[in-house]
Amino acid sequence: MTTLRGILLGLALALAASGAWADEACRVRAGADGLVIRALVLTGQARPVIADVAVDRDGAIACAGPDCHSARPHAARIECPGAVLSPGFINLHEHLAFAHIAPRPDDGVRYGQRNDWRKGMRGFKAREDFVLSTDPDVLAWGELRHLLSGTTSIVGGSMAPGLTRNLDLQAGLEGLNVARATYAIFPLGDADGTQREGDCDYPHVATEAEVGALSAYVAHVSEGRDGAARNEFRCLGEKDFDTTPTAAGGLSHDIVRANLVIVHGVGLTPAMLAQVGRRKSAVVWSPRSNLSLYGQTLDVAAARKAGVLLALGTDWLPSGSISMPREADCALAYSREHLGGLIGPRELWAMMTISPARAVHMEDAVGAIRTGLAADLILVRPALADPYEAVVRARPQDLLLVLRGGKALSGRAALMDGVAHGSAGCEPLAVNGAADTICVAAETGRSVKALAEKMAAQGVWPAFFPGAAPVEPACETRP
C-alpha cells in the first residue's frame, strides 16, 4: 500500500503551480449581491452562445441570457468567454458505500447475470469478496471524487453531509423542494443469489402497490446478458408471465411506468425496450461496468429507436468508472466502435444533465441552466474543440469552478477568491498541477487534508488522476 499512499498524498495534498489559465482567460470581480458568470453556456442547442447566467442569494438561477449584469451591478462577476458553463452532472447509478474498494484488474471472465459474480452461482467464482463501509469519511471521499470531476447530484444508496446532492435520501437533497427518488438494488429480493428462468419464484417481487406511489423508482433490472437476466424484467413487466402463487409470492407484476428508472438493462430485448419506451420509463446506461462484467451492454440503438429516455451512470469503482467523464469516455468509444457514432457528445451531455433530471422527475429543480432552477453549475476549461465533448470528457484539472445551489465548493483559487470570500472551511487543494481552493470543511466537519491523510493511510483509491487511472475496468466487448 506504500505506493498507493504516495500516489494519493501526491495527488491530493501537494501544493501545485499557479492556475495561470484562469488568471489569463478570466476576469473576476468580487461582489455582495449574488453572482453573474459570463461564458459559453450549454443549454442543449447545437450552437452554444456566450451569455450571462445570474445566481441569486438563495442559490437559484435568476437570469440566463445576453445581459444579466445590468440588473445586478453589485453582484460578483466572473467573465470567462473562453470557458464553457454547464449544468453539473447527475449520476443516477453509484454505490457510495463501496467507495473504498479499488478497481479490480480484468481477469478476462465474463458473466451471464450478476449473481454469477456476486455469489459464485452456476460454477463461477464469487468476485464480490469485499464488504460495504458505513464510515462517513469513506462516503465523503466518494462524493468528493465525483464533485471534483463535475458531478453535483448522485443516486448512490448512502450519503455524507454536504458535497454532492443525494437524490435518493431526504437528508441529502440539500434544500431541493422535491420528492426523493427510491433506490432499489434488489427489486426481486435476490440479494441471496436467487436466479430464475420461466417463473417468478424470487424472495420478493416489487409490486404495483409498492412502486406506484413513488416519485421515482430507480431499480437494478436485467443486469446480465442471458435468460436469467431477461427473466427479471418479465417478472417486473409482464403481469401474466407467472400467475402461479407460492408461499413467498411467486407472481409476476407490471411496474413499468413513468416513475420506473431501470439501471443496467443489459438483457433487455428490443421488444422489452419498446415497452419501456411506450410506458415512458427511463434507463441508466453504465457501459464500462457492463462491458467489464458481461462483455456487452444495453442495446442503445434499440432503446433510442423505442424513444427510451437514457441517462448515464458510473456504477461503482470495482467494475465501473471513477467519474462521469471517464464513463462518458467509455460511452463515446463504444458508440464510435459499435454504433457508428450514434451517440455523440451533445446527446451524451444531455444523458449526464437534463435527461437524468427528467428520469427522476426533478427537471424543474436541477439539470439545466434555466431561470428558477438550482444553480448547480460547472465552469470548464475547454481542452477539446467541441464544447459538449470538452465538458463530458473534462478532467479534474479542467474544472474551473463547481457550484451547488450557488455555493462555490471548489475551483481555481483565482476564481474562488472572488466568489467564496469569507466562506468557512476553505483550504488549498492541488488538482493535477492546478492550484485550486475547496470549501467543504464546514459541511463535512473535517478538512480535506485530514480526510485525504486518513484515506491514504487506509489505502483507499485516490479521488482523481490526470487522465485514466492506472487500473481501470475494461471498456470493450468480449465473449
**What would the grid cell of residue 376 be?**
448547480
Q: What is the pLDDT of residue 306?
A: 98
**Is beta strand 282-285 parallel, antiparallel or unpaired with respect to 260-264?**
parallel
H or E element, residue 53 = strand 49-55
Q: What is the pLDDT of residue 184?
A: 98
Q: How far is CA 60 from CA 34, 77, 371, in A?
A: 10, 16, 8
Global confidence as pTM: 0.94
Residue ranges of domains in the chain: 2-88+367-457, 90-359
Contact 470, 26 (CB under 8 A): no
d(CA 436, CA 239): 54
Q: What is the pLDDT of residue 54?
A: 98
Contact 190, 202 (CB under 8 A): yes
H helices within 98-160, ranges in order?
A: 114-119, 136-147
Phi-psi region of 381 (alpha: psi -120 to 50; beta: other; left: phi over 0): beta
How confident is the model over 75-105, as pLDDT tens digits? 999 999 999 999 999 999 999 999 999 999 8
Domain 90-359 belongs in CATH node 3.20.20.140: yes
H helices within 315-447, ranges in order?
A: 324-338, 345-352, 354-359, 387-392, 413-419, 441-444
Q: What is the pLDDT of residue 13?
A: 40
Domain 2-88+367-457 belongs in CATH node 2.30.40.10: yes
Contact 24, 415 (CB under 8 A): no
Q: How far is CA 290 from CA 164, 221, 263, 439, in A?
A: 25, 13, 11, 35
The DSSP annotation for 186-231 comes to -TT-GGG----SSS--SS----HHHHHT-S-EEEEE--BSSHHHHH
* Strands of 260-264's sheet in order across: 182-184, 217-221, 260-264, 282-285, 309-312
Residue closest to 442 by CA, chosen among 247, 134, 162: 162
Q: What is the pLDDT of residue 165?
A: 98
Residue numbers of the chain with a pLDDT score lower than 70: 1-24, 421-422, 479
Residue closest to 262 by CA, chosen among 287, 276, 283, 290: 283
Which residue(s) pair with 192 in the sheet?
none
d(CA 122, CA 195): 10
d(CA 65, CA 86): 14
Q: What is the pLDDT of residue 268?
A: 98
DSSP 414: H
d(CA 304, CA 296): 17
Phi, psi of 448 (to 5 degrees): -65, -35
